[in-house]
Structure 1
């Protein structure tokens, strides 16, 4: 990246992009597309400030060294002082010996940069730093250089820590921590690193080698644990370095950086710069903000939907397909209740166990709650009261999976009172201005009401196979009862939809009788248009492989069908041609036969005439010719026929 200071005092940013197919960032004035280094060199000479980041792409190291060397060789052409900033990494310090063997916790500072020893895989970074520092000392009036030893960056879409955030967001049961996790990892928020660069440009400090890290001294274990607790299951496990290297989710360079063990102090940054810190105390202390930044940058905000409608209207059919397409969690109230009761029973069973003291009384509380619920069920003919159902459902919707990916509520809440209690805001939450107060973390973004006449629903249930109906409420009596309950809960004046209207989340009402497709695919497509594009990482590598395999099978099957269809078509055409040829041949034979018969019929009078009047005379003439043996038999025969012609006589 390079910058020019314009007349208004603002910087005009000119940069290069590794992937030239990506769109230009809004803050960049121009993207340089060059074919040769000479072309790039001309751009660099025209810029006031040149910044090279070699922390993410090792291929940039050689170009950065070339760039600063090229500028140095063109100093005679430079009139205005140039600034060259190299953003490097603390891995060039990774093998440095402690400042005090008796006190290894003393942090390194900028003053110790000459003592730094790089990680074996980051020697090129160290060499680039030396080159930049060296060339910046020869003619400070025309070119000044700075090197920034940056901590591991986080914030935004994440970089080095991305594999941890991704695994936690995908609800991986346990996040992996490499080694024993006790290594101290120097870190800095990406916006704070940008602020350091901005301060260097503005104040031009005398110190030319700067350390850029936040105040945290977090270990890898602390970082993994806080990411797992804030975004995932809260669990982690330690794996060996050898096992970690076999993982496909992390590259060697990232692996090396995560295992760095350094205590560093950014003295110049803290004492000589004025920075409005985004995360001065580190990733652990600011994990909630960092998680939100990660979700927004990666567009991983959850999708939440509610599908309601009368019984047998296809709510579960639609919800299931939406969950499959968007990779959301299908929330069915029966499953929520069963899973919650099972969890309570497991927890309550530990109340009398040996680890009762280590449970902080939770097992006893769950046991007491379970007893209360059982008493409530006995009083309500086996049904659990709404207050417990809603409690279980709120816990489910607030779980990390539902908060990460989102969910589709299938038919619950059924009444407006249930909706008010379920989506009620927490005591410390405030409703949005101009709207009712509700829990924004679980409120559906899309509400769909499926509608159909009772007769249509009865007809649909009656046409269901016996195997599907058996053991369910989808019988004629069961449907009648459930329809009556649905109408009682949703009168003309008061329905669940009224609650969402009051919250300014306007439901979409769909008539399912117009859907003539299989499996209600038309309704599903309509709802998908309402919900918008998916907000996830898309298919995994295994899923992509399966999709490609299915597409290949479809392609092969399609080609076989086309080939079979072509062969069948060609065979039909050949048979048709043969039939037409046979018919033509048959007709031609008939014509020939008819012509022959016609000619035969027409020739009878002439033949009779010839046999009576011509053939006797001709025969006698031939006999005479044989007797006489004239020199010209033809002339003789002609003369004979002329003389014997009856007309002549």
Structure 2
């Protein structure tokens, strides 16, 4: 919410709130809160400042942003501004900087070239421990004039100390330095602030009831963020005498009323009271959130009524403006519903693709058979639970009366449905099927996340009856002959799968028998379904013609073109057409589960790779050893064979030496021993030379 106030002020004409707004109030009151300040004008406030995330891009509404590295640099920028605005309701770290900034500016008063205005957005939590203005009448609310008696919640002492300091600094020289404290009620609108937890669990549709902490009878002062921005605009324009402004709307709703309203318009429609102690176990709620939700204050702002000129977005509070608030919430969070209709002949893969789309986008898969069985089961459950809860008192009495009417209606409808099925051999007439499907599409989960319609409607008349608008106030025709339709449930995307009969028949023939058994894919039933589909999609009044008339043009995908039994490429084409998911994305727990799963898979994969590597290395080592032994054996055999060859080749030479050389050599050696010449070698050589004539 940090950017909402400067964005709002960037479109406000300086001094505009000093003028009468009677003409503005006569304008269309149906504009959404976001559109209140949508038209930029000349002479508007120029927005400059620092970014909470320095690496983020500069907002479009800001003239300039600063990345300051020191207090001296920040002070130099503050001195250039006429109005300084600090918000300490969301980030307690801003308290220290806000008090420093006010003190630093106060020290520079003598050097001001123009008067400066310092506005601190604080919280009504600095009133949380205040004693009632009139102990004898607790219904009398606090007003702006009671601010001197306020007593802060123990966890908001720093907030009240900052308020007191900044108010004190503004009393020194009011001509040059004015300070104002805006005690804001709990803010809602856009991303919903402290109430976001209830909006989120309601939108997710994961619980049968939204929790109320304690008895829920504590009063919570609130204000829409754009109304708070309008208060800031009025302070800048009016410079009121009172420097403490209580910024709350005119509602006095309890926690139970707020949660019940959110549940009915976003969630399951029911609430359940849980002990306050259990609230501390909820991870999404911080200590500050819980302190704010447990506050019990009746407050009324006299300044906003009597002095300020505010064009209210939600003057009566959240409950009275819930439809507009829900639209803002979904738009600002980007969690708009995604509605898809899958059309195509039997065997084209509609159900598989629908299920995969639902997994990818976190949508609700609408299968006609499931819807019928679920609706009948719900009717039977409603009928069998006639007894009302005897513990219900007060406001719940109205709910009990309404539930009793629902039981009677359910009895009548269940009887009609059973009679219809008996008369039509177990088949249900279109009027009941369409009623059940329409109720399903209008259910809060489908309105929140969206849906994928699996192969229904099949005909033009079914589509017209299903999506026909029941609101008589709407125009019957738009743009010529366009039929009227219910924008709440009409699909945004229509995907039509196409394929030839030959392709579809071959695909069914090749399916395993265990898949075909008991389904409409048996030969007789499949051909009958295929013929019926072709007959209902050959004239000008087809279901696709209906969507064309509404300018929801189908995307045609030829299944045979992809040759993709698992539909992966088809899914990529559809996802490319539809775009990114429109939901909260993964929660911290889901991210942790995926990371843990990925880590486990990585460990398993690494273990498998290690085992495979070790097995491969062992195998290679064994092969090397076997090869080494084989090579050694081969080498020994070669050596043996060489030795035998050498020995065989040396026999003639040895015989020759023994017969012709050795006798003469032996005689020469004997002779050498007798004579003992000085050079025995030379003697032997000479002896052999002289006696060589006898050698052959």
**TM-score tier after normalising by the smaller chain length:** over 0.9
CA gap of 1:363–1:250, structure 2 versus 1, over 3 A, is same
- Deviating more after overlay: 583-592 vs 564-573: 583-592
1:242 aligns with 2:286: no
1:317 match: 352
Q: Say whether residues 1:209 and 2:254 are aligned partners.
A: no
Shift of 1:11: 2.6
Deviates more, 1:147-156 or 1:382-391: 382-391
2:418 equivalent to 1:367: no
Instruction: Tell me how far 1:242 sits from its aligned partner.
Output: 1.8
Q: What is the alpha-carbon distance in structure 2 between the residues aligned to residue 66 and residue 79 of structure 1?
A: 21
Asked if 1:50 is matched to 2:95, the reply is no
Deviation at 1:103, TM superposition (A): 2.3
CA deviations over 1:399-445 (Å, ceiling 9, x no partner): 10100010110111111211121111233334655754322211112
Structure 1 residues 611 and 387: alpha-carbon distance in aligned structure 2, compared to 1, 3 A threshold: same
Structure 2 CA distance for aligned equivalents of residues 499 and 597 of structure 1: 100
Greater mean deviation of Cα atoms: 518-527 or 244-253: 518-527
Structure 1 residues 628, 65: closer, same or farther in 2, change over 3 A? same
Q: Give the conservation status (yes or no) of the 8 Å contact 1:642–1:648.
A: no
Match of 2:97 in 1: 63
Write the deviation string for residues 30-50 of structure 1: whole angstroms up to 9, x where unpaired: 332223323222221222211
Task: Check if 1:407 corresponds to 2:451.
Answer: yes
Deviations 1:61-84 (A, max 9, x none): 111111101111122332211110
CA shift in 2, pair 1:291/1:357, >3 Å: closer
Q: Distance in 2 between matches of 1:536 and 1:453?
A: 37
* Cα deviations by residue, 1:124-160 (Å, 9 ceiling, x for unpaired): 1111111111000101222111111111110001101
My pick for the range that moved more, 168-177 or 92-101, is 92-101
User: Residues of 2 paired with 1:492 and 1:233: CA distance?
Assistant: 42
1:577-596 Cα shifts (integer Å, max 9, x gaps): 55665676567667766766
Residue 280 (str. 1) matches residue 325 (str. 2): no
1:24 paired to 2:58: yes
Structure 2 partner of 1:397: 441
Structure 2 CA distance, aligned partners of 1:251 and 1:28?
31
Contact 1:429 1:439 in 2 (8 A): no
Deviations 1:445-477 (A, max 9, x none): 221122233343333334434443333222122
Counterpart of 2:530? 483
Aligned to 1:197: 232
Pick closer, same or farther for the CA change 1:103–1:163 going to 2, 3 Å: same
Deviation at 1:263, TM superposition (A): 2.0
Structure 1 match to 2:140: 106
Deviates most, 188-197 or 515-524: 515-524
Matches within 5 A, 1:210-609: 210-349=245-384, 359=403, 361-426=405-470, 427-430=472-475, 433=479, 436-491=483-538, 493-517=540-564, 519-574=566-621, 606-607=653-654, 609=656
Quick one: structure 1 residues 357 and 561, their matched pair in 2 at CA, closer, same or farther if it must change by over 3 Å? closer
Q: Which runs of 5+ in 2 are unaligned?
A: 15-40, 391-399
What TM-score, normalized to structure 1? Answer: 0.92
Answering whether residue 43 of structure 2 is matched by residue 9 of structure 1, we say yes
Q: Distance in 2 between matches of 1:78 and 1:36?
A: 21
- Residues in 2 aligned to 1:134 and 1:634: alpha-carbon distance in whole angstroms: 128
Name 1:155's counterpart in structure 2: 189
Q: 1:455 to 1:164 in 2, by over 3 A?
A: same
Give the TM-score taking structure 2 as reference length.
Answer: 0.86
Shift of 1:26: 1.8
Q: CA RMSD for the aligned pairs?
A: 3.0
Residues 361/626 of structure 1: CA separation in 2 closer, same or farther (3 Å cut): closer
Alpha-carbon spacing, 1:131–1:445, altered in 2? closer, same or farther (3 Å): same
Whole-angstrom distance in 1 between the partners of 2:130 and 2:410:
53
Shift of 1:398: 0.5
Match of 1:146 among 166, 170, 180: 180
| 1:202 aligned counterpart, secondary structure | helix
The alpha-carbon distance between structure 1 residues 485 and 45, as it changes in their structure 2 partners (threshold 3 A), is: same
Cα–Cα, structure 1 residues 79 and 616, in superposed 2: closer, same or farther, change >3 Å?
same
In 2, are the aligned partners of 1:177 and 1:236 still within 8 Å (CA)? yes
Per mean C-alpha deviation after superposition, the further-off stretch among 534-543 and 133-142 is: 534-543
Distance 1:456 1:228, change over 3 A: same
Offset at residue 545 of structure 1 (A): 2.7
Deviates more, 1:268-277 or 1:429-438: 429-438
Moved more, 481-490 or 597-606: 597-606
SS in 1 for 2:692: coil
Moved more, 462-471 or 75-84: 462-471
Once the two structures are overlaid, the 10-residue window that deviates more, 602-611 or 325-334, is 602-611
Contact kept? 1:351, 1:364, Cα under 8 Å: no
8 Å contact from structure 2 (residues 211, 273) kept in 1 = yes
**Are 2:671 and 1:624 equivalent residues in the alignment?**
yes
**Matches of 2:640 and 2:404 in 1, distance apart?**
112
CA contact (8 A) 1:182 1:220 kept: yes
Q: Please give the per-residue CA displacement for 1:209-232, whole angstroms capped at 9, x wherever unaligned.
A: 111111111122211111111111
Partners of 2:213 and 2:329 lie apart in 1 by 22
* In structure 2, distance between residues paired with 1:243 and 1:644: 125
Question: Following the alignment from structure 1 to structure 2, what is the Cα–Cα distance between the partners of residues 598 and 636?
Answer: 36
Alignment check: 8 A CA contact 2:354 2:454 kept:
yes
Moved more, 394-403 or 196-205: 196-205
Q: Using the alignment, how far apart are the partners of 2:638 and 2:404 within structure 1?
A: 109
Task: Tell me whether 598-607 or 261-270 shows the greater mean CA deviation.
Answer: 598-607
Q: Output one character per residue of 1:473-494: Cα deviation in whole Å (capped at 9) or x when no partner.
A: 2212221221122122222655
The SS at the match of 1:242 is: helix
Aligned to 2:26: none
Distance of aligned partners of 1:352 and 1:295 in 2 relative to their CA distance in 1, 3 Å threshold: closer
Aligned counterparts of 2:218 and 2:202: Cα–Cα separation in 1 = 21
- The number of equivalent residue pairs is 649
Distance 2:683 2:411 in 1: 145
Shift of 1:170: 1.2
